[in-house]
Chain A
Amino acid sequence: MLQSLWENRIPVAAVVLFAVGFTTLLLHRNLFKKIIGLNIMDTAAYLFLTSLGYISGRKPPIITDGVTDASAYVNPLPAGLVLTGIVVSVSVTALMLALTVRLYERYHTLDLDKIYLMAKDEEEEKK
């Protein structure tokens, strides 16, 4: 088992990073930390996908010297998928940061629990 984990060390690192990001997302109350945790989860997923496309001993999928044999290059598909994913993740980050700025403007704290309690109080006052 340890041998297998050692050979698959990049997926293992991706799993560990995913867990770190997930734990941050669950346990930290700070919104800013949550965003960084989500970014770490993103990159972990991308790392896992890219590692699936890797074939040892081959070159990156850029045709050189007219060699178009598929057995000379690594898989270009995961790279294409992850490329779009990276840019989507930065738009998600920007959106979350804008929401954070709005929440901070209204409640003057980044603590999600406090924001939740304050919002609850506000709703009760309205009733």
Chain B
Amino acid sequence: MKKQTKPKLSERLRAWDAGSFDLTASIDPDPPVPTVEHDVRQEDLPPLVSLSERETRGFRRLYPVLAAALSAVLVAFLLSAVLALPPYGAADNPPHNEVMERYVSQGLDETGAVNTVAGVILDYRAFDTLGESHVLYTAATAVMILLLAAGGGREEPPSVRRIMEGDPILRGTARVQVPVILLFGVYVILNGHLGPGGGFAGGAILGGGLILYVIAFGFEPLERIVSGRVFRVGIASALCFYSAAKCYSFFCGANHLETIFRNGTPGAILSAGLILPLNVAVGLIVALTMYGFYSMFQRGRV
């Protein structure tokens, strides 16, 4: 079965083209076993010919040309639109209207948030952010459905276990870095109303820290803290808390009632009314979703 002669140029070109679809070449840590791999790849090749013949029929031959032409037309249109834009960075451009002025000049009094962006997304436009958290939740659910149907819950493939055993460099680095990353994530979440950051960024940092921990030490140690149950209950209760808190605040605001959430002194950590708890809720949702995405891709379940 061993192939002795050199492959022809056309075959090599085709293999090179197919190489962009070949995943084993890219991340295989083991050197490939030439005999077996080669034989199987030969088995893969024959259908390629018939498929490529079918691919070049009719519209398919015209498609790349049409696609390139469409892109060129699109770029021309967009560039002509860019030419019609008002001067870049000028203070009197149309986007900088009374809405922006109101948000910046009244934001500190009305929301109590030093960071105006946090005031906008979690107070003035909190419904937007609620819908966005639901998008995250829906995406996590959809990914879970897709990957559980793909045979989740089965035994982990050997390559996962090999990574879990982890090399000493990874483990040593993770032991030092994970606490710092998690602490930084909590800091970013809790400081969302005082400086750049907030629930989205901090949640992503927390999720990244959890993922690094899992890569270095495996899922088992984390299972005690973030199990599937914690994942589901955590996301659902954070979403419910967000909805309830915002309903309460809108109800009170529309009826000119005092809410129990005070704005406090701007700049203090416990200020800005609802923004801090909402940031924590959003951070929890984002962190759990990011970790859940990883876990579902890695082992098919949370």
A and B found bound together: yes
Q: Does B170 contact A (CB under 8 A)?
A: no
| B residues less than 8 Å from A36 (CB atoms) | none
Q: Does B216 contact A (CB under 8 A)?
A: no
Q: Are B146 and A98 in contact (CB under 8 A)?
A: yes
Minimum CB–CB distance for A20 against chain B, Å: 9
Size category of the A interface is 35 or more
Structural contact, B89 and A73, CB atoms closer than 8 A:
no
B99 at the A/B interface (Cβ < 8 Å)?
A: yes
A97: B residues at CB distance < 8 A: 297
A8 to B149, CA, bound (A): 48
Contact A70 B101 (CB under 8 A): yes
How far in angstroms is the closest Cβ of chain B from A77?
6
For the A-B complex, the count of residue pairs with Cβ-Cβ distances under 8 Å equals 174
Residue in A52, A98, A113 whose Cβ sees the most chain B Cβ within 10 Å: A98
Q: Which residues of A contact B149 (CB under 8 A)?
A: 102
B121 → A minimal CB distance (Å) = 4
On whether the beta carbons of A61 and B104 are closer than 8 Å, the reply is: yes
Report whether B67 and A109 are in contact in the complex, using a CB–CB cutoff of 8 Å.
Answer: no
Q: Is the CB of A7 within 8 A of B200?
A: no
B21 touches A102 (CB 8 A): no
Contacts of B142 in A (CB 8 A): 95, 98
CB-based contact A63/B93 at 8 Å: no
Query: Which chain B residues lie closer than 8 Å to A91 at the CB level?
Result: 135-136, 138-140, 289
Q: Let me know if B55 and A84 touch, CB within 8 A.
A: no
* B120 CB–A CB distance under 8 Å: yes
B146 and A75 contacting across the interface, CB-CB below 8 Å:
no
Q: Evaluate whether A117 and B54 lie within 8 angstroms (CB atoms) in the complex, with A23-B71, A30-B21, A79-B117 already known.
A: yes
Chain A interface secondary structure, helix, strand, loop or mixed? Answer: helix
CA distance A83 to B60 in the complex (A): 39
Query: What is the 8 Å Cβ interface bit string for chain B, positions 83-113, against chain A (1 contact, 0 not)?
Result: 1010111110101100111011111110000
Q: When chains A and B are docked, how far (Å) is the Cα of A67 from the Cα of B82?
A: 34
Instruction: Assess whether B226 is interfacial by the CB under 8 Å rule.
Output: no
Check B64–A27 contact: CB distance below 8 A.
yes
Residue pair A7, B266 in contact (C-beta under 8 Å)? no
Against B, the Cβ 8 Å flags (1 = close, 0 = not) of A49-63 are 001111111101111
Q: Does A119 contact B (CB under 8 A)?
A: no
Contact A60 to B196, CB < 8 A, known contacts A18-B78, A26-B67: yes
User: B146 contacts which chain A residues (CB < 8 A)?
Assistant: 95, 98-99, 101-102
| A106 nearest in chain B by CB position | B150
Question: CB distance B196 to A62 under 8 Å?
Answer: yes
* A76 with B93: CB separation less than 8 A: no
Residue B51 lies at the interface, judged by CB distance under 8 Å to chain A: yes
Q: Which A residues touch B266, using CB under 8 A?
A: 63
6 A–B contacts from the bound complex (CB under 8 Å): A4-B83, A68-B107, A78-B95, A84-B132, A113-B60, A117-B54
Which 8 A-B residue pairs are closest in the complex by CB-CB distance? A91-B139, A56-B89, A26-B67, A61-B116, A70-B101, A80-B120, A98-B146, A70-B104
A residues sitting closer than 8 Å to B (CB atoms) are 1, 4-5, 7-12, 15-16, 18-19, 22-23, 26-27, 30, 33, 51-58, 60-63, 68-71, 73, 75-80, 83-84, 86-88, 90-92, 94-95, 97-99, 101-102, 105, 109-111, 113-114, 117
